[in-house]
Amino acid sequence: MTKNIDWANLGFGYIKTDYRYVSNYKDGSWDEGTLSTDETITLNESAGVLQYAQTCFEGMKAYRTVDNKVVCFRPDMNAKRMADTCKRLEMPVLPEEKFIDAVIQTVKANIDWVPPYGTGAALYLRPYMFAYNAVIGVKPATEFQFRIFATPVGAYFKGGTTGVALRVPDFDRAAPRGTGHVKAGLNYAMSLHPVVEAHKQGYAENLYLDSATRTNVEETGGANVIFVTKDNTVVTPKSNTILPSITRRSLMYVAEKYLGLKTEERVIPYSEVKEFKECALCGTAAVLSPVGRIDNNGESIHFDYNSQGIGEVTKKLYDTLVGIQLGKIEAPEGWIRVVE
């Protein structure tokens, strides 16, 4: 029985669900993995994750479709990205089949927490890995734990009819090259102070520029960015210091193959942003959230969506992507993994 929750008004927060998946890596191999009801973790005081932040995560969602199936969107892409991150962090790779099996087990075990179709909510899945054993010299741990928990979520950004507001901060932030979600270093931990400042000033997020030259658009703290030009080309920043968003890659495919639009992944100088007619943030959590305004040291760029709250091309992209995820539009081969 689906849980009795006010799905339509659900925010983006942690809600404890029934089961989480746990697998341990020791002596060079992963154990079989199991489902656990215990949401707590006890660690040695010198565990590698606590001392040197040897840890990473992924983010993905399970959806209930129009024909009442439960599906995941491109979990193989999350498995591949996490493998890249693990290699960069000297962590063991979890084989792709094991990752996907763990995802399916976690969703099945928490099936009552998958929001009903049409509520706008989804079951967010957080696969993550961390260094378990004690280390004190600066070196990788030898034992690791991989987990997935599930939590039902609603919208990440609430832009209303004007879209979300961003600011260009005086802070640098870049993801280490070739990685996914790395928590410490230049990524999430370092984005916490600028995002607190942004929220105090009334902005939803920071739009970071590249750290090397501070001239080109990168991404925000929790989402990539796309723009639409006046002649309806979908443009997104080319950079190897942003998180390689699966949603963004999917949107660029949808733009080209479903909507017949031109797409470009290229360096985007901030000076060009005022020429664009639409801007939106994309990601698993963000989905595709329209941006209404960007402020940069006293200068504002406005995107006017004629009180629709969303640009024309952004709306088509959103409807097609979400339509694919919810089983209303036929998906490209391999994008939808049916859980049950």
Give me the active site residues, please: 183
* Helix intervals (H) in the chain: 48-52, 75-88, 96-109, 188-200, 246-253, 312-325
Tell me whether residue 23 or residue 284 sits nearer to ligand PLP (CB atom): 284
Contact 219, 208 (CB under 8 A): yes
**Binding residues for ligand COI, how many (CB under 6 A)?**
6
Q: How far is the CB of 127 from ligand COI (least distance, A)?
A: 10
Q: From start to end of 105-255, where are the E strands?
A: 122-131, 144-153, 164-167, 181-182, 205-209, 217-220, 224-228, 234-237
User: Nearer Cβ to ligand COI, position 169 or 283?
Assistant: 283
Among the listed residues 247, 263, 289, 314, the single contact to ligand PLP using CB under 6 A: 247
Alpha-carbon radius of gyration of the chain: 20
For 24, the token pair is 């341990």
Reading the block at residue 300, the tokens are 């504002």
User: Residue 223 Cβ, how far from ligand PLP at the closest point, in Å?
Assistant: 5
Type and span of the H or E element at 292: strand 287-296
Which residues 6+ apart lie within 8 Å of 87 measured at CB?
93
Nearer to ligand COI, 283 or 292 (CB): 283
| Contacts of 234 by beta carbon, 8 Å cutoff, 6+ apart | 226, 227, 228, 251, 252, 255, 261, 262, 263, 264, 313, 317
Q: d(Cα 279, Cα 273) in Å, to the nearest integer?
A: 9
Q: Which is nearer to ligand COI, 107 or 135 (CB)?
A: 107
Nearest-angstrom CA–CA distance, 94 and 100: 10
290 interacts with ligand COI by CB under 6 A: no
- Give yes or no for residue 141 binding ligand PLP (CB under 6 A): no
Is 145 or 206 the residue whose CB approaches ligand PLP more closely? Answer: 206
**251 lies in the site for ligand PLP, by CB under 6 A:** no
Contacts for 170 with CB less than 8 Å, ≥ 6 apart:
none
245 binds ligand PLP, rule: CB under 6 A: yes
The SS3 call for residue 59 is coil
- From residue 267 to residue 286, the character string flagging contacts with ligand PLP as x (rule: CB under 6 A) and all else as - is ----------------xxx-
As a whole number of angstroms, the distance between CA 238 and CA 159 comes to 26
Name which position in 205, 210, 219, 278 contacts ligand PLP (CB under 6 A). Answer: 219
Please, which residue, 82 or 135, has the CB nearer to ligand COI?
82
Residue 245 touches which of ligand COI, ligand PLP, none (CB < 5 to 8 A by kind)?
Answer: ligand PLP
The residue range among 105-113, 239-247, 270-278, 323-331 that interacts with ligand PLP, by the rule CB under 6 A, is 239-247
Position closest to ligand PLP via CB: 283
Return the residues of window 31-60 that contact ligand PLP according to CB under 6 A: 59
Contact status: 284 vs ligand COI (CB under 6 A): yes
Q: Which residues bind ligand COI (CB under 6 A)?
A: 59, 181, 222, 283-285
Q: Which residues bind ligand PLP (CB under 6 A)?
A: 59, 181, 219, 222-224, 243, 245-248, 283-285
